[in-house]
Amino acid sequence: MRQISDLRIKTDFQVRGRFASVPNFLLIVRLLSEIRKENALTYPPKWRETENPFRLPYQNFTLTKILGYPHAGNDVFHAVGVFREKEVEVFIKVARQQGADIQNEIRTIRAIRSPLLPEIIDCDPDESRFVVTLAKKGERLSVILKENPDESSFYYLYEYGQILARFHSLQGEFSKVKDRKFFHIPPESYFQSTPFPFVFDYLCQHRPARINFCFCHGDFHYANILWENRKISAVLDFELSGIGNREFDIAWAVIRRPGQNFLKTEQELELFLKGYRSVSECNLEYVRYYMVLIYSYFYQIGSDQPDYQAALFRFFRQYCLGENTQTS
């Protein structure tokens, strides 16, 4: 209550000084606007209940303010605090979801030592409960491209593919990736309840003959990549990383997610793969297979978007039945 009271006094003082000569009605309107802005900055809305980040046992960092609550499987806080006597902007990730592996993320970031990765400044003694990283500069492609009306995505996809290939070329001692449901074909009963029961037969009959192992990011997609001046400025979220399936990791990167307005066309996909293959080789047939596998799950995830589901249905017909359709 004291914080709320202090906030109102501060805001009222600021508005009184700024709008002293404004008529009362406009003064009230602007006062309310200022209060809303101040509250939004100081008390950003939560989209779910989270662990209290102020109670975490920090060792090197002092949390002073929460800026936001990014959507994620774990509890993630965009925040400001003090580190080495300087104010810093950070992200705090706290283990929440089943299978969370903060320890793997910490070890991977320390092992790679790349300027593209966030710098770790604090974590719990066991390196398993939470991690604090300095915020990186840049924006996600979804923010930069928005609706992508002029196909600006073509300026980004070649480097997008190149960076993934460079990660796949890393050498070192990394753990194996953890098993995920997306690695496995859903049961036949699932496909029988969809408009594409033929996909089950395709997936069973065209399994890749082998797995090409390499270091994999595990969750390489637009939400975990930041850009600045058309260059990748940061790669985030290494919790699922490790030695895994090269072509699956590529497929995970290039599939179009619900609400995504790029990587919708064959030309965009080819540009990404061209960038990838300028650094490293991959089996394109395997990539297509894993795209079908992943999309069989994402069809249900995008159940509230009929246009998205229609696009995936066309994709299935094209790659499983050989029909000449469009995937946009």
Q: What is the mean pLDDT of residues 54-60?
A: 96
Q: Render pLDDT for 284-295 as a digit per residue (tens, 0 to 9).
A: 999 999 999 999
Structure tokens at 76: 């993630």
**pTM, to two decimals:** 0.84
List residues bridging with 215 in a β-sheet: 243
* Widest pairwise Cα distance in the chain: 77
For β-strands 130-134 and 120-123, DSSP reports them as: antiparallel
- What local confidence, expressed as pLDDT, does residue 257 receive? 96
How confident is the model over 270-312, as pLDDT tens digits? 999 999 999 999 999 999 999 999 999 999 999 999 999 999 9
The mean pLDDT value for 174-183 works out to: 96
| Cα–Cα distance for residue pair 71/65, rounded to 1 Å | 18
The CA angle 221-312-325, to the nearest 5 degrees, is 120
The full length of the chain comes to 328
What is the CATH topology of the domain spanning 53-134? Answer: Phosphorylase Kinase; domain 1 (3.30.200)
CATH says 141-321 is which class? alpha beta
- Confidence at residue 246, expressed as pLDDT on a 0 to 100 scale: 98
Percent of the chain with pLDDT over 90: 77
pLDDT classification of 323: cutoffs 50, 70, 90: confident
78: Cβ contacts below 8 Å, ≥ 6 apart = 66, 67, 68, 69, 70, 89, 90, 91, 135
* DSSP code at position 186: P
Domain ranges of the chain: 2-31, 53-134, 141-321
CATH topology identical between 53-134 and 141-321: no
Residue-averaged pLDDT of the chain:
87
Average pLDDT over residues 60-72: 93
| Tokens found for residue 178 | 């953890």
What are the structure tokens assigned to 158, written together?
């070649």
Q: How do residues 220-267 score in pLDDT, each as one tens digit?
A: 999 999 999 999 999 999 999 999 999 999 999 999 999 999 999 999
Look at 2-11, 83-92, 223-232 and tell me which has the smallest mean pLDDT: 2-11
Q: What is the pLDDT of residue 326?
A: 54
Confidence tier at 20 by pLDDT (50, 70, 90): very low
3-state secondary structure of 126: coil
Amino acid 46: pLDDT: 81
Are 106 and 95 spatial neighbours (Cβ–Cβ below 8 Å)?
A: no
Of 38-42, 144-148, 324-328, which range is least confident? Answer: 38-42
Asked whether the predicted pLDDT for residue 41 surpasses 90, the reply is no
User: Which letter, b or e, does each residue of 121-137 get, where b requires 16 or more Cβ atoms within 10 Å of its Cβ?
Assistant: bbbbeebebbbbbebbe
70 vs 216, more confident: 216
* Helical axes 246-254 vs 266-277, angle rounded to 10°: 140
| Residue 14 banded pLDDT, cuts 50, 70, 90 | very low
| pLDDT the model gives residue 9 | 27
Give the per-residue pLDDT at 2.
Answer: 35
Mark out the alpha helices in the chain (DSSP H runs): 2-18, 24-42, 102-112, 141-145, 157-168, 188-192, 198-205, 246-254, 266-277, 284-301, 306-321
pLDDT at 316: 98
Band of the pLDDT at 24, cuts 50, 70, 90?
low
Given a cut of 60, whether residue 16 has pLDDT beyond it is: no
CB 247 within 8 A of CB 214: no
User: Is residue 19 scored above 50 in pLDDT?
Assistant: no
Q: What is the pLDDT of residue 135?
A: 97
pLDDT mean over 85-112: 94
pLDDT tens digits for range 100-157: 899 999 999 999 989 999 999 999 999 999 999 999 999 999 999 988 888 899 999 9
